Amino acid sequence: MNAIKLLPDLLISQISAGEVIGRPASALKELLENSVDAGATEITVQLFQGGIKLIRIADNGTGISRDDLPLALTRHATSKINTLEDLQKVASLGFRGEALASIAAVSRLTLTSRGAGEKHAWQIQTKDRHLSSPEPAALASGTTVEIHDLYFNTPARRKFLKTEATEYAHCDEAFKRIALSRADIGFTLQHNGTIRRYLRPADARLRIAAMLGDEFAQTSVFVDERAADLRLWGASALPNYSRSSRDNQYFFVNGRFVRDKLITHALREAYRDILHPDRHPAFALFLEMNADGVDVNVHPTKTEVKFRDSRALHQFIFHTINKALASPQLVSAASISPSPDQVPGNRSRAAIAPFSAYARQRVIPLAPQIMPDAPPALPGMVAQPQAFYQTLFGTGTESSVDSMAAAIVDEKQEIPPLGFALGQLLGIYILSQNDRGLLIVDMHAAHERILYEKLKSALDNHKLSMQPLLIPATFQADSLDIATVEESSAVLCELGFEISVFSPTMLVVRAVPATLKDADVIKLAHDVVSEIREFGASQALTSRRNELLSTMACHGAVRANRMLTIPEMNALLREMEATARSGQCNHGRPTWFEISLADLDKMFMRGR
């Protein structure tokens, strides 16, 4: 008697179902993909008990002829590919011919379909592990698939299913992915007799907003970029919409939802400069490319892919998203402005007076030398020399009330996105007013981003100028720091530093980057040397370059408890408007928030 035997077809299908059909959501995904491949323009999904009791999908696609119905439930039978060449350039979502056979092996399945040109529909069922003969049925067009009692004949697998609410949540996620990928198709989702989602064919932007929410749509940038045979389009959320998990990350390749490490890394790198390490970006992005440039036959679930030119694709995705996020964010995602219909007293947006219509309050000069009779500054406040800020922001050192008032623009002048400064709060925040309301700016975080972008640009263009120190600064150093400086002099020079060995235990700083000449020279030099010492000179200008420049920018940025004049505050606001990624500091934290006039009205109960 032979020890090795051929397995029965039913058992083979049941084994396959364990991999392809892990839960009701997996069956729903496969059936939705079949409906999309059939050219359906309307798809209706009905679920009971989270899809465990019933999954019913009806579409108006091309349908299946009577003679093909038995083949549709046979393993490895498909109409989508015929040869190896077809497999290497698959354009359809399904192609393996496993899904329906696997589902039929672990459920009670009914398939009803009406092929083009047929007088009526035909129906086939799985009964007692056997297929029935096709029978006449009533159906206007397309195909309807009903799956009853999933895993009824494999109780060991059925017991691993979760609660009804959990299984429905997974089904809803599978539905959401397909609906996002095809905005031109209408979808309806019902659960336990209640319509949960009703989507009409729409523009891609409207479909993204319908599936991911208005907040995502309002705090994202739309991307559409082409290069050779590649096109990347969709919506990528600004950092302020970042999530604590990866729940709102949708990436499609030729309409197929995929999870790929290469793509994930490219997107993470694009967000690295502006996203906090503990947060995750949100996006709905669609990549279109030649079908022969991607291999989708990697895993039965078809969510894993391999790219033929992965390096070029990585660079394309990274640069496209990085470019989109680099635009100065003039509308903060951190705004907490309600919609116009939420304005107290039913005041519409148009009814809110523009900025110029409000009475201009006289500027209160903050510098002590301007107001000699003013009360002393708060504890910890330090009046920085005006020359420091003249160099920092390129502004003058007006010291009279008249010159300070000159900072207030003519009422006819258009209000900049970040408005005009009103004053300084506790030496940390700048208060500004624009035509929407009040802005609160973290001056250190904002200036840190400005310096960081300037340093990056200067280093990329090899224009990082060096400022010699009138009096060289010396500091204590151990033997490893001494060795680091001796070995990395070229790297330090490229970064704008001239640091040399002064003695066996001391280093001397003779020049620093001109942008950072007013920073704490010793602390700046010490931190840069420590960074190079820890990670090596070879990485200082490659993989660790941005981290090193971020450290340098942090040292050069204006510190808390520094008193700024109104012109200096406005200069900082104007630089923010012209700086890429100015909505976040180098560590991914927001640099400013906006409180709308309507929100302030609500706080003071105006209009009630």
Q: Do domains 9-201 and 205-326 have the same CATH topology?
A: no
Q: How confident is the model at residue 209 (pLDDT cuts 50, 70, 90)?
A: very high
* Average pLDDT along the chain: 80
* Predicted local distance difference test score (pLDDT) of residue 379: 43
More confident residue, 243 or 34: 34
Give the separation between CA 28 and CA 45, rounded to whole angstroms: 9
For residue 424 the two structure tokens come to: 């300084």
* Predicted local distance difference test score (pLDDT) of residue 344: 37
- Side-chain-side CA neighbours of 1 within 13 Å: the count stands at 1
Give the separation between CA 151 and CA 154, rounded to whole angstroms: 5
* Predicted local distance difference test score (pLDDT) of residue 532: 84
pLDDT, one tens digit per residue, over 48-69 is: 999 999 999 999 999 999 988 8
User: Which residue intervals of 333-372 are DSSP H helices?
Assistant: none
pLDDT, one tens digit per residue, over 440-467 is: 999 888 888 888 888 888 888 877 888 8
* Predicted local distance difference test score (pLDDT) of residue 602: 86
Q: Write out the DSSP string of 122-143.
A: EEEEEETTEEPPPEEE--SSEE
Question: 3-state SS of the chain: helix, strand, coil percent to 5?
Answer: 40, 25, 40
pLDDT, one tens digit per residue, over 455-498 is: 888 888 877 888 888 888 888 888 888 888 888 888 888 888 88
* Predicted local distance difference test score (pLDDT) of residue 145: 95
- Whole-model pTM: value is 0.70
Q: How confident is the model at residue 331 (pLDDT cuts 50, 70, 90)?
A: very low
Return the domain boundaries, the chain.
9-201, 205-326, 370-608
Q: Is the pLDDT of residue 402 over 70?
A: no
Q: Please give the helix or strand (H or E) that residue 26 lies within, else none.
A: helix 24-37
Q: Is the pLDDT of residue 105 over 60?
A: yes
Q: Which residues pair with 438 in a beta bridge?
A: 433, 595
What lies within 8 Å, CB to CB, of 464 at 6+ separation is 455, 458, 494, 495, 496, 513
Contact (CB, 8 A) for 255 and 309? no
CATH fold of 370-608 reads Ribosomal Protein S8; Chain: A, domain 1 (3.30.1370)
* Predicted local distance difference test score (pLDDT) of residue 552: 82
What is the C-alpha R_g of the chain?
32
Q: Is the pLDDT of residue 408 over 70?
A: no
What proportion of the chain, given as a percentage, has pLDDT over 90?
A: 28
More confident residue, 533 or 66: 66
Average pLDDT, integer, range 407-423: 71
Its sign, for the CA torsion 242, 248, 249, 252, is negative
Q: Is the pLDDT of residue 392 over 70?
A: no
* Predicted local distance difference test score (pLDDT) of residue 16: 62
Q: Please give the helix or strand (H or E) that residue 587 lies within, else none.
A: none
Backbone angles phi, psi at 302, to 5 degrees: 60, 25
Overall residue count recorded for the chain in this entry: 608
Average pLDDT, integer, range 511-524: 84
Range 9-201: architecture per CATH: 2-Layer Sandwich (3.30)
Q: What 3 state SS string does 214-257 have?
A: HHHHHCEEEEEEEECCEEEEEEEECHHHCECCCCCEEEEECCEE
Please report where in the chains the tokens 């009526």 appear, as a residue.
Answer: 120
Q: What is the CATH number of domain 205-326?
A: 3.30.230.10
For residue 234 the two structure tokens come to: 């969709």
